[in-house]
Amino acid sequence: MAIQAEPFVVNVGPQHPSTHGVFRMKLTLDGERIVDADMVIGYLHRSVEKLAEERTWTQNIPFMDRTDYLAAMTGNQAIVLAAEKMLGIEATERAKYIRVIMAELQRFASHCMAVGTFVNDCGAWQTPLMYMLREREKILDLFEMTCGARVTLNYMRIGGVAFDLPDEFVPVCRQLVEEDFPRRLEEYATLLLGNEILIARSRGIGVLPPELAINSSVSGPVLRGSGVAWDVRKADPYDVYDRMEFEIPVGYQGDCYDRFLVRFEEMQQSVGIIKQALDQLPGGPEKVDIPLAPVAPRGEHYSRVESPRGELGIYAVSDESPNPYRFHIRSPSYINLSALKQMTVGHTVADAVVILGSIDIVVGEVDR
């Protein structure tokens, strides 16, 4: 006999560990089944965009470390490319290669966190996450070796990078991408890709059709997991990505498992890109000399990069002063949440945690 029950509301987050930061899902339930969902943000606002309008371009670089704090190098790359576009400055050849190396190391490290926490959300008890953190730490060691910081890095500069690579960087990096990481990725593939619990928790869950993905303006692995082969590194190359050979991994069902698989395969592609960049790395200076507070001509520009979470764009307006007149960040974590309601309604509360984990948000970028 069916029992008629009144719908009730449950808050998942902001305290729930699987919300990956201060973010709240307001779920309306009929039993365990989700019948409606609202996404509530506003717990971590930092006024980054407004603060940026009161500071010079160089002073704004550290702000981008603290939006997506799991991919600070990518944030650095986004803002220096935007500034160079506004100012008409070209970075040195060596700096462009160093930026690509650092950005791909950061992508690998970020996907380590994404894959590890996602598998944890699916029911694993810490072991895969600890394995992934081990590989991430090796990359953070390289960052620390180069610029003295591990998470919030402030490394890239307008016209180049702050410091050249130390002598020990290339041998250690080669060891990682030529031997350590390929061996570990093979081990993780054996451990995870056919795991029946992971498949049961993620296959067919949170399906995002390609039409809805495109109409929702999602990007990154969330979009590619739905079968859309869009990557800014290919579509609108920057630095020296046009000289790199790599594939764009895509999914075929648009579910949580496909989004997980895309990130896993992107880690392998990043290893290949880093190898190519190390092989092609030219000599020369690591930056060009620019004024302490350069002034951009009057105008507006949009610049974008492919962050681990999708298209990270910066729209800026110059009024011929040392600081941007207007500064806006197109953050993929925020926009990728736009389809979360459609992905969760009809599933259970336990599924909602897995679906949110498959989007891989960083709340500093959501509520910037």
pLDDT, position 282: 97
Q: Is residue 243 part of a domain?
A: yes
CB 280 within 8 Å of CB 272: no
Can you give the residue range of the structural domain that contains 119?
45-366
* Residue 124, pLDDT score: 86
For residue 304, being part of any structural domain is answered with yes
Q: Give the CATH number of the domain where residue 330 resides.
A: 1.10.645.10
- DSSP per residue over 61-73, as a string? HHHHHTTSTT-HH
What is the four-CA torsion angle of 85, 139, 71, 98, rounded to 10 degrees? 0
Residue at 360 is within a domain: yes
Asked if residue 14 is part of any domain, the answer here is no
**Domain count of the chain?**
1
What does each of the 368 residues of the chain score in pLDDT, given as a tens digit? 666 678 899 998 777 666 666 889 999 999 899 999 999 988 888 889 999 999 999 999 999 999 999 999 999 999 999 999 999 999 999 999 999 999 999 999 999 999 999 999 998 888 889 999 999 999 999 999 999 999 999 999 999 999 999 999 999 999 999 999 999 999 999 999 999 999 999 999 999 999 999 999 999 999 999 999 999 999 999 999 999 999 999 999 999 999 999 999 999 999 999 999 999 999 999 999 999 899 999 999 999 999 999 999 999 999 999 999 999 999 999 999 999 999 999 999 999 999 999 999 998 899 88
Q: What is the pTM of this model?
A: 0.95
Does residue 357 lie within any of the structural domains? Answer: yes
Per-residue pLDDT at 147? 96
Q: What's the confidence (pLDDT) of residue 46?
A: 81
User: Which tokens belong to 80?
Assistant: 């220096």
Cis bond leading into 14, ω under 30°?
yes
16 within a domain of the structure (yes/no): no
Q: Does residue 21 lie within any of the structural domains?
A: no
pLDDT of res. 42: 81
Helix (H) or strand (E) holding 259: helix 256-280
Residue 52 belongs to some domain of the structure = yes
The C-alpha R_g of the chain, in whole angstroms, comes to: 21
The β-bridge partners of 326 are: 317
Q: Please give the pLDDT value at position 18.
A: 63
